[in-house]
Structure formats: structure tokens, C-alpha cells
A and B are shown apart, each in its own frame.
Chain A
């Protein structure tokens, strides 16, 4: 039996609808922190936090640097910074060069989270129009983490999930509508 300590969700174009639909599935008091790494326009920054907060009783906030993820919280990667998981499990921010034209980059968060959490990690890749996230997902899987890709047929922008499926076989391929249920099933932990 393993317990999951962090869920990282990466998404780009077309992922917001999926996110909004999955939050109502996550019960109050859900103990596993979530980190959302979304490619977005800095202009929508504050709006996004509010929109998400209105869909859940979990606490939604932007990542603060050197903050340690807490149960019951949803963290949002700030526009223009990569979010890394440090050696002590805290988040750090870094505005080095974009990766796959993206900052925040999903690959960066997936990989650094995998180094720290190993098999106590779930990474999910949603709809999007670029190549970010695929490599990271393969890396997570190789370190025993649980990987999930949104079914490209179901994704508004299928490129990102499709690209990921070309380089890695994820543990699950789910439609957007099933993602909430999947997250809910992660707690309490069951026999694998």
C-alpha cells in the first residue's frame, strides 16, 4: 500500500474546462495537496485563482517560494516562473529560460517532483497544444509514479496528450469527465 503525497496536473489549451469539472469531485478534507501547472497568459492570473476557488472547498493559492505543500491545498504555478520541488519537499520558483516555449513548464515540475516523491506521486497531463509534459511524464513513470493522460479523442487540443502517448505508456488514459473520480479514488489509499 502506498500513499500519494502530491498530485501534479499539467495542462494547456483546453484544459480549464476539465479542471473545473474535476474539482467538485474532490471532497472537503481531501488530504493530498495538488499542484496545477498551466500555461496561461499572465493577464488572467488573478482571475484563474478565483475561478478555481469558487469550485472547491480546498484552499487555492499561488505557489509561494520555499513553501512546503500542505494537505487540503491546491497550488497554482505563478505565470512566468517554473515551479520546482526542492530536496526538502518545498517549492522553489525559478525564471530561467522557458522549456518547450513554456514558463511554467510542466516537464520541470513533473521531473523535480518525481525526484523527490518517487512512487508517492501522481502526475496528470491534460489537453494542450504543445510538447511540454511528455518527457516529464515518462520520467515520472520510470521512477514509479502514477501517470495519467487525458484521452486525446476527448481533449479539446489533442496534441499534448497525443505527443505524450507517443513516448510513454501511462498508467491510465482517462476522459476529462473521469478524472475527478480518479483523484477521489486515491484517498484513502488501497492495496495496489
Chain B
């Protein structure tokens, strides 16, 4: 199938194969194709269907304040450092539907830093980027998010950040004022700015080691010296070439600081 992906300018060759296969298999079953040949034919000849394909094979599962301990560390240890900068630029690489970006905006607002921050949210999947722009999330999730929020050290009433309308929660548009959402492919696109904090959480697990290295290099080249790089709970810099330029900032959470020491 890889030839097909390349035909559309997507390169999934270095994605974790079993994981990718499960996604493809799932879509094949979901859309009830009578044969794999027909599935292939449709993909090749129907760009709209290919778009659906990209949307469905990427794993977009996310939540607000996912891993509250991580956000607690951000509040307590990272934001005070960022506060010393005149202007704060943050990149959420692989932000999915944007819950992570809204979580960050809430933290920044509570630290009195949102007015001087800019949050970039990017993802390969155009559909999730559209949803992120809307700032609308399912109301059914709010109880969980509110509990995450309290565990992350929040003291406000979490429901003050959104207006509920039937089953949807629309987040305060003031939070979104400092957000920029765009599609960006970590496997093939270039660095587009320099940041003091980059979050790339639960994205690298879907890549093979070679692509992980490539993406980490891209993140590294987009991070200022003394900037912070945050990965998912089960991801690590340990096996990467850039590791010796980084120090794990907080023993428990997956946050590294770029120190650029000369050996």
C-alpha cells in the first residue's frame, strides 16, 4: 500500500507496521469493502476517500490535562522559567483535536502569562485541526477533565472555562486568541519557528526508531537553547542522538531541557 500513500504525498513507510496495519484493517472492515483490491482501487482513484483514510488511520485519542502529574510539573517548574521571557512560543506537535493546547492556555492564563504567549498546534490530519479550531469538545468529557484539572493543581471552577450547550462544551474564545492551528507533517515538513517549549506527546510511539530520530532532530532544531521538550509518558529521548544535548528536567515526568553542553 505504501506506493499509494506516496502517490498522495504521504509517507507512512516508517510508521510502526503492526499498529498501522491494525488501523488499515479496521477501516477496511468499517467501510465494508468486499475485497482488498476494491479498497485499494477506491483509495487510488478517490482523493476524498483517501482523505478519510488519513483521518481514520491516525490515532487521534486525546484528552484535556491528560496525565495530571505532567501538568502539575508544568505549572510548578516550567511556567516559572518561561515567565522570565518577554515572549513565549509553544509548539504542540501532533496536537490532534486540540485538547492539549486548550489545557496549556488554561495553565498560562492562570499563571498570568497567556497575554504574552503564542501557541502553535499542528497535526498531519486536517480534520482534527478543524475541530481544534472550533474549541468545542463533548460535554460528556467535562467531568473527567474537571477531575484532571483539580489533580493538576487547578483552583478555579473548571466549568468557568466553557459554556455548555446540549452535549457540547464551547471553550472561552479568549483562550483561543493566542492559538494558531495548521496542518504540518512531522515526517516530511520543515521547522517553521523557534520555541521555548515543544510538546510532542504520544506521537513518537507510532513511529519506528528511524523516523523517531528524524522527528526528534526536527524538534531539536526548532527548540531554543535552554528550551523544554515534553514527550508522552511512555516515550523517551534515551535512544536518540540528541540525548546528550538534553537533561531530563524532572526525574519522573518526560520533560527534557536543552543544555547544549560542549563535550
Report which A residues bind B (CB closer than 8 A): 64-66, 78, 81, 84-87, 92-97, 108, 112, 115
Is B17 part of the contact surface with A, judged by Cβ < 8 Å?
yes
Asked if B61 and A96 make an inter-chain contact with CB atoms under 8 angstroms apart, the answer reads: yes
- CA A71 – CA B156 in complex, angstroms? 50
Asked if A108 and B234 make an inter-chain contact with CB atoms under 8 angstroms apart, the answer reads: no
> Do A64 and B236 form a contact, CB below 8 Å, given A84-B16, A94-B59, A95-B202?
yes
- CA A86 – CA B208 in complex, angstroms? 10
Query: What residues on A are CB-neighbors of B205 within 8 Å?
Result: 65, 81, 92-95
Asked if B16 and A81 make an inter-chain contact with CB atoms under 8 angstroms apart, the answer reads: no
Asked if B18 and A65 make an inter-chain contact with CB atoms under 8 angstroms apart, the answer reads: no
Report which B residues bind A (CB closer than 8 A): 16-19, 22-23, 59, 61, 202, 204-206, 208-209, 212, 233-236, 239
> Do A92 and B61 form a contact, CB below 8 Å, given A65-B235, A78-B234?
no
- CA A187 – CA B59 in complex, angstroms? 39
- CA A115 – CA B19 in complex, angstroms? 13
- CA A94 – CA B15 in complex, angstroms? 12
Asked if B22 and A108 make an inter-chain contact with CB atoms under 8 angstroms apart, the answer reads: yes
Query: What residues on A are CB-neighbors of B59 within 8 Å?
Result: 94-96
Query: What residues on B are CB-neighbors of A92 within 8 Å?
Result: 16, 18-19, 205-206
- CA A108 – CA B25 in complex, angstroms? 13
A-B contact pairs, 17 of them (CB 8 A): A64-B236, A65-B205, A66-B208, A66-B209, A78-B233, A78-B234, A81-B205, A81-B234, A86-B17, A87-B17, A92-B19, A94-B16, A95-B205, A96-B23, A97-B61, A108-B22, A112-B18
- CA A97 – CA B206 in complex, angstroms? 14
Query: What residues on A are CB-neighbors of B208 within 8 Å?
Result: 66
New A-B contacts (15) at CB < 8 Å, excluding given A64-B234, A66-B239, A85-B18: A65-B204, A65-B235, A66-B209, A81-B205, A86-B17, A86-B18, A87-B18, A92-B16, A92-B205, A93-B205, A94-B16, A94-B22, A95-B61, A96-B19, A112-B22
